Amino acid sequence: MIMTLVLDVAADVILEKLIGVSAETIVAKLKGDPTKKAMQRAVGAALERYAKGTRLTLARPFLQKNGLLNDPEVAAEFASVLSFDRQPNTKLIGDKWRVSLEQPPRWPDLSKEAEIILGYFENELKNTEVFRPVFQAKSLSAIESNTAATAESLSNIEGQLASIVDLMDARFGELTRHFLDSSTSIRDEIRDFTRYIEEKTRGFVGRQFVFDAVQQFIDTHLRGYFFVRGDPGIGKSALAAQMVKTNGYLHHFNIRSEGINKATDFLKNICAQLIAVYDLDYATLPVEATQDGGFLGDLLDQVSKKLNGAKCVIVVDALDEVDNTGLSAGTNLLYLPRILPEGIFIVATTRREQLPLRIDISEQGSLFIEQDAAGNIQDITLYVEGQTPQPGIQAYIQRHGINDGVFIKHIVGKSQGNFIYLRMVLPEIETGAYTDLELNSIPAGLNSYYEDHWRRMRQQNELDWFDYKLPVIVALTVVKEPVSIDLITEFAYIEDKRRIRAVLKDFDQFIFKTDVEYEDGTQRRYRWYHASFFEFIAAKEDVADERVDLVEANKKIADKLWGDLFGDVTTPPRPPVDED
């Protein structure tokens, strides 16, 4: 894989520079395999953190074969992070960086950007067992020959970087280039969905019948709305993300679990994208941009006049997750226009239920993805076939005396045409969770799988379930945005972070993890991966029977957040311990 080679060469060049300035007693450790793997991981993780949003295009020279990190002078500046004898020369990196870009942007100061990458690199080095002692002692002699930088961890980072390179090379990379060249104020209003798109499109297969239907509608109409409908877990968000990735469409993803589902979120993001991509004459968004749909309508009219026969497509995902609170009766979700000017298309995904939308143009199309439709089953089969060669799945097949064909047929049937089911169950088979379970006994359907996992986790130890597992689950369910372990400790009243981490590990396949800039470094935050699991827990009848009141939990968390902001509400007292 190309990213393996890129990180391998980068680590070699940086370590070579360190070896050149190190005492003989340190050289052996620097040449060791654990040190190289730790260096590869730190470089890869730093680049993965940097390459998002408008910086996706900027990061390209670092992720290319024979890229910037292969330059001995640049590598020497990265190595200086560990030598402590001088500050890295960010100007040198910035100058070489600008030369390496095919179309250097009007902004930014690449010396400052080099400082950001070096900061990420230093933090990632500190996160390794090999290099952490070096920073604690401020001496390279403290380096440890530790194997904590596992091949699995490194492989995961390589895979993420490969997905990011795919985004760069697709039309999505061209779109971010337009974002990069817009004014600072406009860039700041563009919602960064890079990580979300990368996650949703990883391992994407099929769906050609949907793409064909959308494209045919766009090709045969002058304007219009096209709706892709389907049940939870059918893969609507992944499909929307793939359309954005391959076609570079303007886009907005409504994600209720992150609190990104209000009209103001949509208007800021899409208005800013329209201004950036079509070079409209606005340096900032006016105040009225988010008050109603008037400004959006004006922008669409301006874009329509500039298209000259081309077409502007806006993808809006998960209309069913939109919070319409506060909008007057009769107002469209997200203030979507009732009439679209010529050349403007909105492709939206939603569940099967009809939404309160008024559209006053005849150009409308829709496609419902049936779970048992031939096209969907074909895509499901293609996905399972792609995952079957995994070592853990092959071990399961051999253990139960079946062949690949039998396994694929049964899993496709049990999925009931649902992609989220596959993204949950197949990794569990791969990691051995179902090692001793016959194929016929693996739960069928998404809700059955949720119930099975819920039951297995509860049966492990009922005291632990009530003591700390269920409170952590409820905290993740009632908070409407990704939360850190520190916040979970406060919301769930669990002081032992090891217990929280254990619960997060138990429910790992249901959790989406994201790293955000926080204070002097980054902070990992967690949320439920898919709305269907959020709904499964929130609507679960036996939650009330398990001594948990979701309404009261919501109130306590709201009080805590209000108190942190304004200081006039005290933190709720710890619930009394049940002595029974």
Give the residue among 316, 275, 283, 277 at the shortest CA–CA distance from 299: 275
Cα–Cα distance for residue pair 422/427, rounded to 1 Å: 8
Q: What angle do CA 529, 444, 402 make, to 5 degrees?
A: 110
Tell the residue number behind the tokens 């790992």, with chain if given: 508
Residues near 156 by beta carbon (within 8 Å), at least 6 away in sequence: none
Length of the chain: 580
Q: Is 173 helix (H, G, I), strand (E, B) or coil?
A: helix
Would you give the DSSP letter of residue 203? T
Is CATH 1.10.10.10 the right assignment for the domain spanning 461-566? yes
Tokens standing for residue 138: 């401020």
DSSP 200: H
Q: State how far the Cα of 525 lies from the Cα of 522, in Å rounded to an integer.
A: 10
Residue 432's region, left for phi above 0, alpha for psi from -120 to 50, else beta, is left
Angle between helices 2-20 and 151-169 (to 10 degrees): 120
**Segment 257-305, tens digit of pLDDT:** 788 999 999 999 999 999 999 999 999 999 999 999 999 999 999 999 9
Max distance between CA atoms of the chain, in angstroms, equals: 78
- Cα–Cα distance measured from residue 312 to residue 579, given in angstroms and rounded to the nearest whole number: 63
Residues with Cβ < 8 Å from 102, sequence gap 6 or more? none
In the block, residue with structure tokens 């311990």: 577
- Per DSSP, the three-state class of 347 is strand
pLDDT the model gives residue 451 = 80
Residue 445 is encoded by which pair of tokens?
């359907």
Fill in the DSSP letter of residue 176: H
Q: How many whole angstroms separate alpha carbon 129 and alpha carbon 148?
A: 6
Q: What pTM, to 2 d.p., does this model score?
A: 0.81
Give the per-residue pLDDT at 579.
Answer: 38
- Residue 367 · residue 228 · CB < 8 Å: yes
Asked if residue 285 lies in contact with residue 182, where contact means CB atoms within 8 angstroms, the answer is no
Q: Which of 481, 477, 491 is nearest to 532 (CA)?
A: 477
> How many Cα atoms sit within 13 Å of 564 on the Cβ side?
9
Task: Report the C-alpha gap between 170 and 214 in whole angstroms.
Answer: 19
Q: Which fold has domain 172-368?
A: Rossmann fold (3.40.50)
Interacting residues of 204 by C-beta distance below 8 A, sequence separation 6+: 238, 241, 242
234: helix, coil or strand? coil
Distance CA 421, CA 453 (A): 12
The residues, any chain, with a CB within 8 Å of residue 307's CB and separated by 6 or more, are 342, 343
Q: b/e string for 53-67 if b means 16 or more Cβ within 10 A? A: bbbbbbbbbbbbeeb
Tokens in use for 43? Answer: 């470089």
What would the two tokens of residue 495 be? 């002081």
Boundaries of every domain in the chain: 2-169, 172-368, 374-445, 461-566
Query: 99 is written with which tokens?
Result: 């030369």
For residues 174 and 57, give the distance between their C-alpha atoms in angstroms, rounded to a whole number: 8
**Which segments in the chain show pLDDT lower than 50?**
545-548, 550, 561-580
Token pair 């399972």 is found at 384
